[in-house]
Amino acid sequence: MVSESPVPLPEQPSLEQLRNQAKDLRRTSGIPLWEAQLGVARRYGFTSWARLKQHVELLTRYSRFPERVATDSDAGTFLRLACLSYYDDEPGEWEQARRILERAPGLAEGNVYVGAATADADALRRVLAADPAAASREGGPFQWEPLCYLAYARHDPAISLAATLETARLLLDAEADPNAGYLWHGLPTPFTTLTGVFGEGEAGPVRAPRHPHSLALARLLLEAGADPNDGQALYNRMFEPGNDHLELLFEFGLGTGDGGPWRRRLGDALDTPAEMVRGQLAWAVTHGMTERVRLLVEHGVDVTAPLDGVTAASMAATTGHADLVDYLVAHGAPPLDLPPADAFVAAALAADRPR
């Protein structure tokens, strides 16, 4: 996609509307249809009509809007309340979901999505025996694959590790996709199974907690082929201290590879693996997360190139984290060489009165 100042696509772009725009342009300008289509594509920042069409089809296929979900059954209402949707999530909703289960304890019977969310391996086994393809069929209120309902369910932290892993294995053995996910409001960073397992985000760990068995479930998904370069999971977990998610993802190749199936679908709309981990480094430096900085550097994240246009050491100094400057320089970052104004800021933040 290239354009000096492209117009953003609507939240839910329509190919029919785009075709009509091209037809209108052809009528008003007298140019051939193919040229009008190219003009429309370039207006939205795409190099060809084919690429624009492919992108819109992708958005149509994967975009989800959780606030628009309507349910008319106990099963649908349970799933809507039980799972993180990253729209108005609250612990009170999980309590409501538990009450629905108490009122209708057989809800998982015959329903692959409820079976996944409740980690009811026995009920799930019966569903898959009759219909193995159900393991990868989208459905339920959010139009997710069953594995996503398992990953995003938060209604019952007492569900055992054994039940959780058995449920995941049943789905994966029936060819569920460990990289299953969706585009929240059509935004280009996918919310995957790993995203759901790791949880958190801007809502914080109370309203969007990680899965009770996050590390074990994430490991199983990664072993099954989930790509560790999960930009949304990294974003959601960068706000709070704690690096267990990064340690696990690095074990499976975070920062390397081609970005997996989602980057193959979305192309340059997604960061490369290297860009993802450098973004994590920039955040950790500016927020003084010393342990995270050390972990990222120890795993080979590049400190020699600029971060957001400045050197890593300068970023540390001008955000009040002088203790990181020597460490970053010792590990390859360019030495600190601040212009006078930035040097003053760094000295003030460090409470260095003489300097």
Q: Are residues 90 and 56 in the same domain?
A: no
Asked if 150 and 37 sit in the same domain, the reply is no
Query: Mean pLDDT across the stretch 10-18?
Result: 90
Backbone angles phi, psi at 97, to 5 degrees: -65, -40
What is the reported pLDDT for 186?
A: 92
- Binned at pLDDT 50, 70 and 90, residue 4 comes out as low
Report the CATH number that the domain containing residue 127 is assigned in CATH: 1.25.40.20
- φ, ψ at 131 (rounded to 5°): -150, 80
Please name which of 251, 189, 180 lies closest in space to residue 215, comparing C-alpha atoms: 251
Residue 2 has pLDDT above 70, yes or no: no
Residues 53 and 150 in one domain: no
Q: Of 191-195, 318-322, 336-340, give the range with the top mean pLDDT.
A: 191-195
Range of the domain at 144: 66-269
Return the exposure string of 229-259: e unless at least 16 CB atoms fall within 10 Å of the residue's CB, then b: bbbbbbbbbbeeeebebbebbbebebbeeeb
Q: For residue 74, what is the enclosing H or E element?
A: helix 74-82
Residue labelled with tokens 């003053």: 344
**268 CB neighbour count, 10 Å cutoff:** 10
Among 39, 8, 7, which residue's Cα sits nearest to residue 23? 39
| Structural domain contains residue 112 | yes
Phi, psi for residue 248 in degrees, rounded to 5: -70, -45
31 lies in the same domain as 90 = no
On whether both 160 and 92 belong to a single domain, the answer is yes
* Domain identity same for 24 and 73: no
Tokens of 235: 């974003």
> Looking at the domain assignment, is residue 353 inside a domain?
no
Per-residue pLDDT, 170: 98
β-strands 191-192, 181-184: how paired? antiparallel
**Does 67 score more than 60 pLDDT?**
yes
Decide if 335 is inside a domain.
Answer: no
Instruction: Pick 214 or 350 by higher pLDDT.
Output: 214
Of 269, 295, 315, the residue that ends a domain is 269
Q: Does the structure show a pLDDT above 80 at 3? A: no
Under a CB-based contact definition with an 8 Å cutoff, are residues 84 and 184 in contact? no
Beta strands in 50-93, from DSSP E residues, in sequence order:
63-64
Q: Does the pLDDT at position 349 exceed 80?
A: no
Whether the per-residue pLDDT at 355 is higher than 90: the answer is no
**Domain final position from 248, 269, 290:** 269
The whole-angstrom separation of Cα 338 and Cα 344 is 9
Which whole number is the average pLDDT over 150-175? Answer: 98
Percent pLDDT > 70 in the chain is 99
Query: How many structural domains are present in the chain?
Result: 2
Stretch 296-324: mean pLDDT: 93
Question: What pLDDT was estimated at residue 352?
Answer: 77
Q: Write the single-letter amino acid at 62.
A: Y
Ranking 26-30, 113-117, 209-213, 251-255 by mean pLDDT, the lowest is 26-30
Average pLDDT, stretch 105-114?
Answer: 96
- Average pLDDT taken over every residue of the chain: 94
**What mean pLDDT comes out for the span 43-57?**
93
pLDDT at 350: 76
Answer with the one of 45, 61, 77 that is the final residue of a domain: 61
Using one digit for the tens of pLDDT, what is the confidence trace for 221-268?
999 999 999 999 999 999 999 999 999 999 999 999 999 999 999 998
- Size of the chain, expressed as the number of residues it contains: 355
